[in-house]
């Protein structure tokens, strides 16, 4: 017993009972906490065991699941991801576009240029600067030096005898084939080829970004075997393994006829693009495309502006076109000896589908075996209206080196508003059909010092 003394030395036994009670309480609390701690540890261990068992079971179950083919997997895709052609693509409906780099999503960009046309090269360099496009110039054959080109031996290959190609057409033919050969030699996966007289919009990159989603949808809709969903990727926004040639600057294209079989729909996708011009500025060769699809181009401001991308039907004109390594190799193999018609018609023959023999009657592209009726040699696609067109003078003439040596538009007096007489309204310095606001047109309007209807001194 613990005792305490008061001032009189008296011993008291206070707090003795209290201390004994407190000791018992503390002992009881320790035992209770100990039992709770044991329960917590047991619970934690039990949870850990259950988690480990679940993980082991999950991975063992995954191994037993048979792998689905892409077509089987596609059956479980959401309805919004299924493409049925033809279709009207809504903005960002399925795919998020990839921002265009300085080569527009291709490995290389080539400009085909005659060495003597320094004026065109100057303009193209400025266009590349304004549009932030890196390209490489390829020297084209001069039509006056075609004797340097080795022709096929007609005695050995009588079916390759020439028709009436002009020297300019032949020079153009061989110039493009030289690019195909370089693509093959250097194993270039994809390349965009642009003629030096081409024109494109100030928002060319934006137009290409808007094309990515519809083009991806078209590829998905045509993929009957695998039906996989293709999304543009940063390193390959154009799915270069899925096509051979892509006509971005055709001057003419045809619509697909109505199919009797509903399981064989017309292969095109329509999408909105406010960079498109009105119907009056459309290339003459393609004005039947939209009516044949039961569609109508915008004729006045306020109407919806649209483009379409389709499996090529009959593309002609090559102000700009993209090829893959596969496409370049096939063009080089088939067209090297097929020098009977202009280059664009030869490649068109390789791109066409549903021909009795796979090619036009006047083509010398002979193959064994002949491609099936519903297939083409090249996997070919076209965008219409085109994104790139040929630049024209204010009077509408084309500055072509194939026929006139580059001087075709006759000198004409200026009208009171500073425009060439007979020129297209509002286009004082030249223009490109289908191009809303051309880069080349904008450059010329500034360097020549025009400001409205007045000419000012250039400093």
Same-domain check for residues 53 and 165: no
Report pLDDT digits (tens) over 158-216.
555 555 678 888 889 889 999 999 999 999 999 999 999 999 999 999 999 999 999 99
Q: Is residue 409 part of a domain?
A: no
The tally of domains found in the chain comes to: 2
pLDDT at 263: 67
Query: Which region, left, alpha or beta, applies to residue 264 given φ > 0 means left and ψ of -120 to 50 means alpha?
Result: beta
pLDDT at 156: 52
Q: Is residue 281 part of a domain?
A: yes
Same-domain check for residues 346 and 211: yes
Alpha carbon 428 to its chain's center: 32
Q: List the one residue out of 194, 372, 223, 225 whose CA is nearest residue 311.
A: 223
Same-domain check for residues 58 and 151: no
Same-domain check for residues 359 and 319: yes
Please give the DSSP secondary-structure letter assigned to residue 141: P
Same-domain check for residues 364 and 237: yes
Report pLDDT digits (tens) over 31-68.
666 676 767 777 777 888 888 877 777 666 545 444 44
Same-domain check for residues 21 and 112: no
pTM: 0.74
Do the beta carbons of residue 314 and residue 247 sit within 8 Å? Answer: no
Q: Is residue 76 part of a domain?
A: no
Q: Is residue 166 part of a domain?
A: yes
> Which stretches of the chain drop beneath a pLDDT of 70?
1-27, 29, 31-34, 36, 38, 58-82, 92-94, 146-164, 224-229, 262-263, 338, 354-374, 395-396, 399-428, 447-459
Q: Is residue 432 part of a domain?
A: no
- Residue 450 in tokens: 């025009």
Same-domain check for residues 10 and 117: no
pLDDT at 214: 93
Q: Which domain holds residue 199?
A: 82-390
Q: Is residue 215 part of a domain?
A: yes
Q: Alpha helices, DSSP H only, in 99-203?
A: 118-131, 167-185
Same-domain check for residues 58 and 96: no
Same-domain check for residues 91 and 56: no
Alpha carbon 155 to its chain's center: 43
pLDDT at 456: 42
pLDDT at 339: 72
């Amino acid at each position: 017993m613990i005792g305490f003394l008061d001032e009189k030395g008296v011993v008291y036994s206070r707090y003795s009972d209290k201390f004994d009670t407190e000791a018992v309480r503390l002992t009881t609390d320790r035992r209770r906490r100990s039992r709770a701690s044991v329960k917590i540890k047991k619970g934690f261990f039990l949870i850990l065991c259950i988690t480990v068992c679940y993980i082991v079971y999950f991975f063992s179950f995954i191994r037993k699941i048979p792998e689905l083919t892409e077509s089987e997997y596609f059956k479980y895709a959401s309805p919004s991801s299924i493409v049925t052609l033809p279709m009207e693509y809504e903005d960002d409906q399925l795919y998020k576009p990839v921002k265009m780099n300085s080569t527009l999503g291709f490995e290389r960009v080539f400009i085909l240029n005659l060495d003597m046309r320094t004026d065109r090269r100057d303009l193209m360099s400025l266009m590349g600067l304004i549009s932030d496009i890196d390209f490489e110039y390829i020297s084209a054959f001069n039509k006056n030096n075609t004797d340097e080109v080795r022709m096929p031996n007609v005695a050995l290959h009588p079916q390759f005898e020439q028709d009436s190609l002009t020297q300019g057409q032949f020079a153009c033919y061989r110039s493009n084939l030289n690019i195909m050969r370089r693509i093959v030699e250097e194993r270039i996966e994809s390349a965009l080829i642009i003629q030096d007289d081409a024109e494109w919009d100030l928002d060319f990159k934006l137009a290409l970004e808007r094309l990515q989603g519809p083009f991806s949808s078209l590829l998905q809709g045509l993929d009957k075997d695998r039906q996989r969903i293709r999304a543009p990727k940063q390193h390959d926004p154009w799915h270069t393994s899925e096509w051979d040639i892509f006509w971005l600057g055709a001057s003419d294209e045809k619509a697909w006829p109505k199919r009797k079989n509903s399981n064989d729909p017309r292969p095109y996708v329509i999408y909105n693009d406010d960079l498109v011009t009105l119907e009056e500025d459309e290339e003459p060769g393609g004005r039947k495309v939209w009516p044949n699809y039961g569609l109508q181009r915008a004729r006045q401001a306020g109407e919806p502006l649209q483009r379409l991308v389709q499996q090529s039907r009959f593309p002609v004109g090559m102000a700009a076109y993209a090829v893959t390594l596969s496409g370049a190799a096939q063009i080089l193999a088939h067209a090297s000896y097929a020098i009977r018609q202009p280059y664009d018609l030869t490649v068109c023959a390789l791109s066409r589908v549903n021909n009795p023999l796979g090619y036009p009657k006047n083509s010398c592209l002979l193959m064994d075996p002949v491609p099936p009726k519903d297939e083409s040699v090249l996997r070919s696609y076209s965008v219409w209206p085109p994104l790139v067109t040929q630049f024209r003078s204010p009077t509408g003439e084309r500055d072509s080196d194939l026929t006139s040596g580059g001087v075709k538009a006759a000198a004409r007096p200026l009208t009171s508003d500073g425009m060439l007489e007979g020129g297209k309204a509002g286009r004082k310095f030249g223009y490109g059909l289908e191009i809303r606001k051309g880069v080349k047109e904008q450059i010329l309007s500034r360097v020549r010092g025009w400001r409205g209807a007045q000419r000012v001194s250039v400093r």
